[in-house]
Amino acid sequence: MTFVLRRLGFFVVTLWAAITLNFLIPRLMPGNAAVAMMARYRGRVNPDALHALEIAFGVNNHQSLLSAYFSYLGNIGRGRFGTSLTFFPDTVSHQVLQALPWTLGLVGVTTILAFFLGTLIGLVSAWRRGGVLDGVLPPIFVITSAFPYFWLALLAIWLFAIKLGWLPQNGGYDYTTTVAWSWTFVGDVIRHSILPAFTILVTSIGGWILTMRNNVIGVLSEDYVRMARAKGLHPWRIMWNYAGRNAILPNLTGFAMSLGFVVSGAILVEFVFNYPGVGWMLLQAVENQDYALMQALFLLIVVAVLFAILVADAATAMLDPRARDVR
């Protein structure tokens, strides 16, 4: 129980840090961007947009820094993120919620797929150490894991979309089709997500394969694996129940740390493909200096990462009885 409480406490601290960063950064930048921004916009932008910016910055000339901070926190707490400049007059919250499903679908699904596939391949390749799989795959994946996401995306676009013309190179769906729960629409969405998904999968799977392989190699010299052999268990059973279940545990904790890469990759891939997800929207916001939207999206990304960590922790607790008993 204390373990859970400590984790939640950590999440709250991290969230608080992210919110505070959102608040402080514009103020810390040379020239105090917040105030400069406000001065530039006053009189030239309509009151609603101004209000949006005020919320984003927590700026109200009549308040001290500390009280501005607290009213900012209050607004965030009440879910009032302001109005978006880019998608005026839509609220930030509404826009963010539009982009979310696209990213969840693309990035969420591919990351989970990459994790499971990568872990499986890593397990098998380490199990058959010295075999063909083990000799060929790790060096290849060491190299591919160093590929910049966007470069692979460009390559994929060039090869499959332009040269071969098999798949579309842009967008989340064909803008001429009607948005509805019809087969054509869904099929279209899937067609548009194949290349981005492929890019993310190929770049991220390498890391999982390598870490799992290293873990399994470490586990294979453990006594309990030798014991399993001594008991005459079937090799598959040993590979799965003894080696696999133990080797995956550090991978799960590592999952949390690799999320940073996943997020940065997702942003770049969405950018290259003009895929209407959270990352793409973030860059649009930056482009248009739509700070309210930008800050909200940043917060969303942090929340998503924390949520993923929570899931990984829960999975660890489920798979490792020692974690459940930790004081």
Query: What residues are paired with 83 via a beta bridge?
Result: 91
- For other proteins, which is the closer residue by CB, 197 or 306? 306
Distance (Å, whole) CA 75 – CA 78: 5
Q: Is residue 205 within the footprint of other proteins (CB under 8 A)?
A: no
Q: Is residue 240 within the footprint of other proteins (CB under 8 A)?
A: no
- For other proteins, which is the closer residue by CB, 179 or 326? 326
Asked if 196 and 270 count as a contact pair (C-beta separation under 8 A), the reply is yes
Per-residue buried b or exposed e for 240-263, using 16+ beta carbons within 10 Å of the residue's own CB: eebbbebbbbbbbebbbebbeebb
Q: Is residue 85 within the footprint of other proteins (CB under 8 A)?
A: no
CB of 117 to other proteins, least distance (A): 20
- For other proteins, which is the closer residue by CB, 13 or 97? 13
Q: Is residue 227 within the footprint of other proteins (CB under 8 A)?
A: yes
Contacts of 218 (CB under 8 A, 6+ apart): 247
With CB under 8 A as the contact rule, which of the stretches 18-26, 93-101, 111-119, 188-196 interacts with other proteins? 18-26
With CB under 8 A as the contact rule, which of the stretches 60-68, 117-125, 147-155, 182-190 interacts with other proteins? 147-155
Q: Is residue 75 within the footprint of other proteins (CB under 8 A)?
A: no
CB of 183 to other proteins, least distance (A): 30
Q: Is residue 20 within the footprint of other proteins (CB under 8 A)?
A: no
Of the candidates 10, 70, 240, 307, which one interacts with other proteins according to CB under 8 A? Answer: 10
Give helix 47-57 / helix 291-319 axis angle, nearest 10°. 40
Q: Is residue 257 within the footprint of other proteins (CB under 8 A)?
A: yes
Q: Is residue 112 within the footprint of other proteins (CB under 8 A)?
A: no
CB of 187 to other proteins, least distance (A): 25
- The DSSP secondary structure of 63-102, one letter per residue, reads S-HHHHHHHHHHHHHTT---B-STTTTSBHHHHHHHHHHH
Q: Is residue 245 within the footprint of other proteins (CB under 8 A)?
A: yes
- For other proteins, which is the closer residue by CB, 135 or 187? 135
Of the candidates 42, 94, 128, 226, which one interacts with other proteins according to CB under 8 A? Answer: 226
With CB under 8 A as the contact rule, which of the stretches 14-22, 58-66, 93-101, 103-111 interacts with other proteins? 14-22
Distance (Å, whole) CA 34 – CA 272: 30
CB of 2 to other proteins, least distance (A): 15
Of the candidates 117, 286, 310, 315, which one interacts with other proteins according to CB under 8 A? Answer: 286
Residue with the two structure tokens 């700026």: 59
Q: Is residue 127 within the footprint of other proteins (CB under 8 A)?
A: no
> What is the C-alpha end-to-end distance of the chain, expressed in Å?
8
CB atoms within 10 A of CB 75: 16
* Three-state helix/strand/coil letters over 209-241: HHHHHHHHHHHHCCHHHHHHHHCCCCHHHHHHH
Q: Is residue 223 within the footprint of other proteins (CB under 8 A)?
A: yes
Of the candidates 18, 76, 121, 205, which one interacts with other proteins according to CB under 8 A? Answer: 18
Q: Is residue 221 within the footprint of other proteins (CB under 8 A)?
A: yes
Helices (H), the chain: 2-28, 33-41, 47-57, 65-77, 92-103, 109-127, 132-144, 149-156, 183-220, 223-230, 235-237, 245-273, 278-287, 291-319, 321-324
